[in-house]
Amino acid sequence: MAVLLYFLNRSQSSSAKSPLPAGEYEVFLNFRGSDVRYDFADSLHTYLKKYEIRTFFDEEELHKGEEIDSKLLDAIEGSKIYIPIISAKYASSRSPLMELAHMVKCCEKEKGHLILPIFYKVEVGDVKNQRGTFGESFRELAQKHDARTIREWKNALRTVTELKGWTVTPTTRQGVTIDEVFLKARKHLMENYRQVTNQLVGIDSHIEKVKELLNREVQTVGIQGMSGIGKTNIAKAVRKRILIVLDNIDRSFELDTTLGDLANFHPESRFIVTTVDEEILKFFPKCESYKPDLMNDDIALQLFSRHAFGSDYPPTGYMDLSQDFVEVAAGLPLAIKAIGSVVFRKDKKFWVAKLKMFREIPDEQVQKRLKIVYEELSLDEKHIFLDIACYFIGEPTDRPSFLWDDSNLHPLVSIDTLCLKAFIKINERNELWMSLIKVDGDNKFWMHDHVRELGRMIIREGDDQHLWKRTRIWSNEDAV
């Protein structure tokens, strides 16, 4: 059970061969072919593909004329991240310069794009001012093009040299640079993805109904329903002048010990209680109950699309499959998010195989469906997920991260993936609520009850009869 406090003013407002969903590419690699194609660019491309980041890598050398090929235009405009690898001979070909100029235009025209420049065995100043070997190549090429085109290229080069990037010299450890580029790219993609997935879907009507109840002559509104239906999100989204939220309480909750006599609170104070157990609400005087319905198909499809595609609706060719996945999620927001995340960045063959697996599990067995999502995690991600489920819910993220880092579990990448899969959430100081027990503002792990129980169920499956054989023990009684 978590107690959530709000003190708010009343004036506040409430490169794959198979088809890929949600845009074909996320990252566009820009380089001069003969310089780095089989060296740095190939290594970076391979690394990004390993972590399922859809990356455009021009293996066909599509430039054949004065204009950019339509496939290249689509790849540039659809990508969120541009990585120009600028080498000494980069400016000896018009192709990378034309691409670079178009990238800069896209960044100026639309937010959400990011350029991560890499200066490969060339000085940044030589690129900015067209000096040295780079300058010689540029001037030779410039003789064949008009003044307007040359001006666009110079502006694009000046723009990227003023951005924070990487310089690769003959003594640079290229593997370290590639890892840093990957982490920066992944962080940006995650931020863009979260901007979509963090937007609440289908919650407005619930907010209005709870607000209506709070405006009546009641002191408490109880939001009651099955786990995963969205009770906590509704409670967090409702704002009043003074509001105490008691989240996910059960029969072990002692009202008098925790809050005392509710009659002692200000007459305008309001309480929201979320619980699975309707009987709990009988202990609260002047309490009205609200039971959220399961999501209807249209809203469920929108929520699924945000987690599967990063957009509000499925792209062409994915509508029927998306509706099938929404059906197996049975209107439960938690299941919709988790199922959507497991097919994110996957091709249709994967979708069809996973749909068959989900359909074989009865609707009421939510944890078994979530386990399919768990099985898609890497070994490092599974290890960290189980640790959080058993020990670190509500704990600051930095404490166990040191332990995981020492064990080479790559916590930065693994935690990002778990957030993406809707398995964990990190509560930051600027979110709507914080734990009553710890209010220091540090990032803390949060996990839904269903997900927590999934992790602990997996541990118990290892050996339920012999506690000493379990990989983790979280209960004081079991430890004794």
Domain boundaries, the chain: 27-196, 203-290, 297-374, 377-479
How far from the centroid of its chain's Cα atoms is residue 166's Cα? 25
- Using CB atoms within 10 Å of the CB of residue 10, give its burial: 0 to 12 exposed, 13 to 18 middle, 19+ buried: exposed
DSSP character at residue 203: -
Q: What confidence score (pLDDT) does residue 427 get?
A: 57
Q: 304-341: string of b/e by CB count within 10 Å (b at 16+)?
A: bbbbbbbeeebbeebeebbeebbebbbbbbbbbbbbbb
Q: If DSSP codes are grouped into helix, strand and coil, which group holds residue 147? A: helix
Find all residues with CB under 8 Å of 420, minimum gap 6, and list them: 190, 193, 341, 344
Superfamily name and number for 27-196: Toll/interleukin-1 receptor homology (TIR) domain (3.40.50.10140)
Contact in structure between 164 and 118 (CB atoms under 8 Å):
no
pTM over 0.75: no
* Percentage of the residues of the chain whose pLDDT score is greater than 90: 28
Q: What confidence score (pLDDT) does residue 463 get?
A: 61
Model confidence at 376, pLDDT cuts 50, 70, 90, reads confident
The catalytic residue positions are 99
The strand pair at 220-224 and 287-290 is best described as parallel
* Residue 319 pLDDT exceeds 70: yes
Fold agreement between 203-290 and 377-479: no
CATH code for the structural domain at 377-479? 1.10.10
Higher pLDDT, 305 or 250: 305
The tokens for 209 are 């109904």
The strand pair at 118-120 and 81-87 is best described as parallel
Find all residues with CB under 8 Å of 465, minimum gap 6, and list them: none
Higher pLDDT, 97 or 204: 97
The tokens for 328 are 């197996």
For the chain, the distance separating the N- and C-terminal CA atoms, rounded to the nearest angstrom, is 24
Q: What confidence score (pLDDT) does residue 432 get?
A: 31
Domain range 203-290, CATH class: alpha beta
Model confidence at 467, pLDDT cuts 50, 70, 90, reads low
pLDDT tens by residue, 249-290: 887 788 878 878 887 887 778 888 888 888 888 888 888 888
Q: What confidence score (pLDDT) does residue 53 get?
A: 86
**Cα–Cα distance, 117 to 426 (Å, whole number):** 30
Find all residues with CB under 8 Å of 67, minimum gap 6, and list them: none
